[in-house]
A and B are shown apart, each in its own frame.
Chain A
Amino acid sequence: MILVIGIGNPDRGDDAAGLAVATRIREAAPPGHVTVRELIGDQLALLDAWTGASDVYVVDAVCSGGTPGTVYRFDAADTLTDRFRHRGTHTFSLADVVELARALGRLPRRLAGFGIEGAQWELGSALSPQVAAAVGTVTSQLLKELKAGV
């Protein structure tokens, strides 16, 4: 099973980038081919969310000081870069969860995905134009890979 997981907070500006990609993939992916999930909140829930899936894509917003809208690719065959490590309240970053899963033998057979550099995270704000554009870029790339069965 191919699983796409979008992570984010729908009401904190660019933090919703991963969720926006998930929504678009759900609308555009070939039916029956791909399962799409949105994850809001505790990222430790990823460990259970991807249980049973062999090919998993994760899309998340990133706050690493880069140019807003920049897209970063990751493959969990390697340790994720510090761009995927964030500060947060009781929550674990994507990089942390990947390493925890690796330590516990709970990584999917293949785990890859994208990070989108955000610009603003205000409560109640919408996606910034740079991130909205990046959401389109990531969606197209992901659809291409899903169709190619990469």
Chain B
Amino acid sequence: MTHGSRNVSVPALARVEGEGGLEIVVENGQVAQARLDIYEPPRFFEALLRGRSYTEPPDITARICGICPVAYQMSACQAIEDACQASVTPQIRALRRLIYTGEWIESHALHIYLLHAPDFLGYESGIHLARDHPDIVSRGLRVKKAGNRLMEVIGGRSVHPVNVRVGGFYRAPATAELRSLVPMLEQARDDAEDTLSWVATFDFPEFERDYEFVALRHPDQYPITEGRVVSSSGLDITPAEYDSHFTEFQVSHSTALHSVLDGRTYLTGPLARYSLNSARLPAGVRAAAHAAGLGATCTNPFRSIVVRAVELLFACDEALRLINGYQPPDPPAIDVRPQRPQRPHQPQQPQQPHRPQRPQQPARDDATGYGCTEAPRGLLYHRYSITGDGVITDAKIVPPTSQNQRAIEADLKDFAAARLGLEHAKLTSECEQAVRNHDPCISCAAHFLDLRLTEAGPGTGTRTEAVRQT
């Protein structure tokens, strides 16, 4: 790339990023605070997008995450099409849902097999698990590969798909191309059933939580690409009303913004999706979920691995269903053009004392659009304001990990409180597991969390113990 160029492409999937840290502050034998410090790239991208063409966000934002590029592309397309008052065809919607199932398959298989299962089976990592159980890990990689292939065939490639554009796709895959994936996906579906039976046998700590769940809800489908934003406390809004209820603010210990729903901590992701939408799963998947020990809702974050396995099975089923009914969209994309303002402006956001100031606000006649989709690890919100000439004047991206940060910290606070007597390595490992329950898109999703235990109390002075695991 060239410095000063307007067309900078900036993948954030640097293999050096993501120093996740966790600090637990103990006062008088009680956990006073649990703080998760994470790196979050979207802030950089919001600034980068301002001044660019309305056609660019799908390509640029796909580079925010190497694991869920499709989620970024889909939320971006939806928001821009909303601003342009364009509505894609049913065929394009179906193809979007299909590529998104590939991402769910890929991401969930990776997390279940290589990141989360080792915790339950007493292995240090997925590699150690593979040494003793190569067949099991090979099964996980086989499922992951099926998801990757689906993303490659539709998206052109799996890491940063290049075939997605505002309005649809550059090229619609031929029916035969998609049908050639059926045997692989049928195998993945069988493997997903075995995955669910396998994870259902794990031992789960008793740790029921009183979460406020937030997820999309669609009238008749398990939500992936569209729906209203609902919560377990009765919120039921369109994506356009998101900013009236959800507020981000800065905290001193993290580069990521925290997010609250009308001032309350909430959780998004598989537990929320499942608990708010299990009735919308196909009957066969619902039955498999019940056979694996899940009720209509799930409030134990350690059981999220079971919920992910249910969603893995659902995603395989859904991919096969969509391929079976596939009609290539023709044309592969609709024409989407920026509009002069014809809609009321977004509602005024509530004032927050720490809300960061945005350097550039959209002009009064810009059109603003909103998009929400369900990334593998939760709700992903995009908002763009676009001039009549198609220039982006404002961009806002709220990823699931930042939304879940407060809920993860609340989990950690209560979880660690009952385990303070453990020796440091054991406490660190159990806290890591509690973080991994939520599959955050940060480095502590793997085994290298830094745990700082700070003890402070009258008469005891303050002791800080820092341990870096490598």
A137 at the interface (CB under 8 A from B): no
Asked if residues B137 and A103 are in contact (CB atoms below 8 Å), the reply is yes
Note all chain A residues with C-beta closer than 8 A to B145.
Answer: 48
Bitwise, B61-85 to A at CB < 8 A (1) or not (0) is 0000111000000000000000000
Interface size bracket, B side: 35 or more
Asked if residues B66 and A123 are in contact (CB atoms below 8 Å), the reply is no
Distance A93 CA – B14 CA, assembled complex (angstroms): 12
Partner of A41, one of B19, B126, B159: B159
Partner of B18, one of A8, A10, A87, A103: A87
Asked if residues A88 and B134 are in contact (CB atoms below 8 Å), the reply is no
**Residue among A12, A47, A61, A93 with max Cβ neighbours from chain B (10 Å):** A12
Interface size bracket, A side: 35 or more
Given contacts A9-B14, A89-B13, contact A105 B134 (CB under 8 A): yes
Partner of A124, one of B1, B148, B445: B1
B416 at the interface (CB under 8 A from A): no
Distance A100 CA – B134 CA, assembled complex (angstroms): 9
Partner of A9, one of B3, B11, B114, B130: B11
Note all chain B residues with C-beta closer than 8 A to A96.
Answer: 125, 127
Looking at chain A's contact residues, the main secondary structure is loop
Partner of B138, one of A8, A82, A104: A104
Asked if residues B134 and A63 are in contact (CB atoms below 8 Å), the reply is no
Partner of A90, one of B1, B131, B445: B445
B265 at the interface (CB under 8 A from A): no
Distance A114 CA – B448 CA, assembled complex (angstroms): 24
B204 at the interface (CB under 8 A from A): no
The smallest beta-carbon distance between B47 and chain A, in angstroms, is 11
The smallest beta-carbon distance between B139 and chain A, in angstroms, is 11
Asked if residues A88 and B15 are in contact (CB atoms below 8 Å), the reply is yes
Distance A53 CA – B439 CA, assembled complex (angstroms): 34
Closest to B44 in A: A123
B9 at the interface (CB under 8 A from A): yes
B288 at the interface (CB under 8 A from A): no
B141 at the interface (CB under 8 A from A): yes
Closest to A13 in B: B14
Note all chain B residues with C-beta closer than 8 A to A55.
Answer: none
Asked if residues A104 and B134 are in contact (CB atoms below 8 Å), the reply is yes
Closest to A60 in B: B15
Bitwise, A56-92 to B at CB < 8 A (1) or not (0) is 0000010100000000000000000010011111111
Closest to A14 in B: B16
Asked if residues B131 and A103 are in contact (CB atoms below 8 Å), the reply is yes
Note all chain A residues with C-beta closer than 8 A to B131.
Answer: 103
Distance A44 CA – B141 CA, assembled complex (angstroms): 9
B307 at the interface (CB under 8 A from A): no
Asked if residues A100 and B126 are in contact (CB atoms below 8 Å), the reply is yes
In addition to A8-B15, A93-B15, A96-B127, 18 A-B residue pairs with Cβ atoms within 8 Å of each other are: A9-B14, A9-B15, A11-B11, A15-B15, A15-B16, A40-B159, A42-B67, A45-B159, A86-B16, A87-B19, A87-B448, A88-B15, A89-B67, A90-B67, A90-B110, A92-B114, A103-B131, A105-B134
Give chain A's interface residues, CB within 8 Å of chain B.
8-12, 15, 40-45, 47-48, 61, 63, 82, 85-93, 96, 99-100, 103-105, 118, 121, 123-124, 126
A-B contact pairs, 26 of them (CB 8 A): A10-B9, A11-B8, A11-B11, A40-B13, A41-B159, A42-B66, A42-B158, A43-B15, A44-B144, A45-B148, A48-B145, A88-B14, A88-B16, A88-B17, A88-B18, A88-B443, A89-B13, A89-B18, A89-B67, A89-B441, A89-B443, A90-B66, A96-B125, A100-B130, A123-B10, A124-B8
The 5 closest A-B pairs by CB, nearest first: A41-B159, A103-B130, A89-B18, A12-B14, A41-B66
